[in-house]
Amino acid sequence: MKRIEAVNDFVVKFANVNGSGSASANELFARAFLRMGIPVSPRNIFPSNIQGLPTWYEVRVTERGWLGRRGGVDLMVAMNPQTWEQDLREIEPGGYLFYDNTRLVAHHRLREDIHVIGMPLTGICNASYSNPRERQLFKNIICLGALAGMIGIEPQVIVALIAEQYKGKERLLEPNVQALHLGLNHAASHLENAMGLRAQRANGVGKRIFMEGNAAVALGAVYGGATVCAWYPITPSSSVAEAFQKYCSRYRVDQESGEHRFAIVQAEDELASIGMVLGAGWNGARAFTATSGPGVSLMAEFVGLAYFAEIPAVIVDVQRGGPSTGMPTRTQQSDLTSCAYLSHGDTKHVLLLPQDPHECFAMMADALDLAERLQTPVFLLTDLDIGMNHRLCEPLQWEEGRQYDRGKVMTAEMLDEGEVFGRYLDVDGDGIPFRTYPGTHESRGAYFTRGTSKNAYAVYSEAGADYRYNMERLNRKHDFARTLVPQPIVRPSTSPSDCGVLYFGSTAASMDEALEALAGQGVHLDACRIRAFPFPEAVARFVEQHRKVFVVEQNRDAQMKCLLVNEAGVAPHKLVSILHYDGTPITARFITAAIARAIGETAQPPNQARDLELAPAPDPAPDPALDPALNPAPRAVRKPARREKAA
């Protein structure tokens, strides 16, 4: 039987039981490759309960640097009998199954086209340790040692990582290193040349960093000047607020007095948290909240108030599977339309769509600027795949001397000079009025903040003309926002093409690899990564230049396509949806197969052109995480905007 032979290019998946202590050892495995200069992209697939259900950890090892899921598994480390059959189905023909053979598995439960590698992990642990907890925890480290021996991971690299992990707890270092050597020694004695997957020191990581998107968002909030965070815990966004607390404790505490120059409030619910954010933003502070889909739904009323009363706010939505409770620990891109139009009545909100932690950091700071420049709620839409998984990315950058854009703020000096202040007065045609901070002037510049209709001077009015004035001005402001938001990234194909592809967010990681695979099949596509809504003009122009454009997104209802048709005026017949919505991150194989299939189906006479809504067949090896049995008109004031130096 042929076996997979690969150097620095394979997929390893660990199938564990949640709460078994495997997470630490699994992360050591992934980080060891990085220390050897080999890029990795790990993903944690975990249940929404605390302990007992299956959990998986998938590590993509690729010297080419692909960061998305490939699809399929070359080595399955099967440590959970509950998911045995499903885990075996994922292994590529010629791939490897590594398991604890202390108790032998019946032959009929194996596959004929894979290589089975057994090691008596439980037996070794029982012979080496008497404490039941030690047996469980060190079993994971022994397994790590055996894998390192078979694959060729340098042992000293893992020892150094363990030392870093237990810095300050040196008494734990020696027993972990001993357990590691138990695995290494067994592999050397009994499993020599058992596997064709090899790690070889490389230089593919460079200066890139390895971090989670949620941590990058929190650091972007600190650098972007946020001083207030109000939140309510919800998976997968809770670590945003937790990381913000950590960074603020380091960077927002006065060195002399010890005074905290930040406020973090865990509110009683999501409605209260967004209310606190609006109060802080109205008062001149930079404030944000972090939540997920269910929390966004609860915030609708206050977000509508912020839109109509024009109060700055930033809402970080780390998307998960919906609707309702949905799949709390699975990923999707299914909050686009709800965030774009959140609240009743006519509303439109700004959305920023980062692809990785680097952009999470940069766009969080941008969101705080945009919220004040536009005096409106701004959504930063990430998802669980970006937010809760470590990702290689370019180092975070901050421009020295960057100033915060506070927008049009009328000062006491301007009021003393006799400038006319109308809180909702469009002074220069961009739809953005001037505002004042509370207490700016003892007798001028005050106004009543209301969610009811009003005229340009914030005076209550039910006159149709006043209402239309404000609604049309808000529309102009939203239209102006397209010139301020991050612009799309367009990548022409290496060969001329009349077809293109639009994508956004976490899909980018797999799309890069899929584009190369498609080009290898003779399918050349121009690519455009959307980074914000409202769409800059370049997005519609990209569609106009192509006969067909594939829109790849991770939701059922083609939400990005709907926004393109409704808001960018794109002809629907030009757009072909590629939809992935099973809760797992989209794979390069899925995209490649779906687009290749659609290319064939769209090759027909023009009079038969039709809009194809495609739900392609799943990857050849279905993910066990999906098994339902296992996973539950006055004079204009023309003054420049005041800018403040960044802290």
Q: Which fold has domain 210-405?
A: Rossmann fold (3.40.50)
Mean pLDDT of 512-524: 96
> By C-alpha distance, which of 150, 179, 173 is closest to 161?
173
- Tell me: cis bond preceding 323? Omega within 30 of 0 counts: yes
Residue with tokens 């290193």: 177
User: What is the C-alpha to C-alpha distance for residues 638 and 331, in angstroms, rounded to an integer?
Assistant: 46
Q: Residue 46: its pLDDT value, please?
A: 87
Whether pLDDT at 642 is above 80: no
Of the two residues 581 and 171, the one the predictor is more confident about is 581
Mean pLDDT of 4-11: 98
Share of the chain above pLDDT 90, in %: 87
Share of the chain above pLDDT 70, in %: 92
Mean pLDDT of 564-589: 97
Mean pLDDT of 625-634: 39
Q: Which of 417-421, 490-494, 504-508 has the lowest mean pLDDT?
A: 417-421
Residue with tokens 């839109």: 307
Q: Residue 79: its pLDDT value, please?
A: 95
Q: Which fold has domain 489-626?
A: Rossmann fold (3.40.50)
Bridge partner residues of 644 (DSSP): 404
Q: Taking the model in full, what pTM does it have?
A: 0.91
CB 248, CB 282: distance < 8 Å: no
Q: Residue 100: its pLDDT value, please?
A: 96
pLDDT tens per residue, range 140-151: 999 999 999 999
CB under 8 Å to 127, separation ≥6 — which residues?
A: none
Residue with tokens 């007095």: 257
Residue 367 sits at φ, ψ, to 5 deg, of: -60, -40
Indicate if 210-405 has the same CATH topology as 6-198.
no
Distances (CA, A) of 539 to 120, 498, 534: 57, 16, 10
Whether pLDDT at 184 is above 60: yes
Q: Which of 442-456, 461-475, 558-572, 614-628 has the lowest mean pLDDT?
A: 614-628
Per-residue confidence at 50, pLDDT binned at 50, 70, 90? low
Q: Residue 406: its pLDDT value, please?
A: 97
Per-residue confidence at 51, pLDDT binned at 50, 70, 90? low
Q: Residue 602: its pLDDT value, please?
A: 57
CB under 8 Å to 616, separation ≥6 — which residues?
A: 578, 590, 593, 594, 597
Q: Residue 171: its pLDDT value, please?
A: 84
Q: In sequence order, what DSSP letters do the residues of 393-460 get, joined into one string?
A: EPPP---TT-EEE--SB--HHHHHTT----TT--SSSSSPPPB--TTS-SSSS-----SS-B-TTS-B
Q: What is the mean pLDDT of the chain?
A: 92
Helix axes 132-151, 173-190, angle to 10 degrees: 50
Distances (CA, A) of 233 to 48, 267, 397: 14, 9, 29
> By C-alpha distance, which of 594, 609, 583, 434 is closest to 517?
594
Whether pLDDT at 107 is above 90: no
- Tell me: cis bond preceding 534? Omega within 30 of 0 counts: yes
User: What is the C-alpha to C-alpha distance for residues 340 and 411, in angstroms, rounded to an integer?
Assistant: 32
Domain at 6-198: CATH architecture: 3-Layer(aba) Sandwich (3.40)
Residue type at 250 in one-letter notation: R
Q: What is the DSSP letter of 299?
A: T
Let me know how long the chain is. Answer: 647
CB under 8 Å to 18, separation ≥6 — which residues?
A: 46, 47, 49, 50, 51, 52, 53, 54, 55
- Rounded to an integer, what is the distance from CA 335 to the centroid of its chain? 13
How open is the CA angle 43-45-47, to the nearest 5 degrees? 155
pLDDT tens per residue, range 13-44: 999 988 888 999 999 999 999 999 999 999 99
Mean pLDDT of 504-518: 97
Q: Where are the domains of the chain?
A: 6-198, 210-405, 408-485, 489-626
Per-residue confidence at 53, pLDDT binned at 50, 70, 90? confident
Whether pLDDT at 635 is above 80: no
Q: Residue 620: its pLDDT value, please?
A: 44
Per-residue confidence at 116, pLDDT binned at 50, 70, 90? very high
Per-residue confidence at 349, pLDDT binned at 50, 70, 90? very high
CB 548, CB 576: distance < 8 Å: yes
CB 55, CB 25: distance < 8 Å: no
User: What is the C-alpha to C-alpha distance for residues 247 and 249, in angstroms, rounded to an integer?
Assistant: 5
CB 77, CB 147: distance < 8 Å: yes
Mean pLDDT of 614-639: 41
Mean pLDDT of 93-121: 94
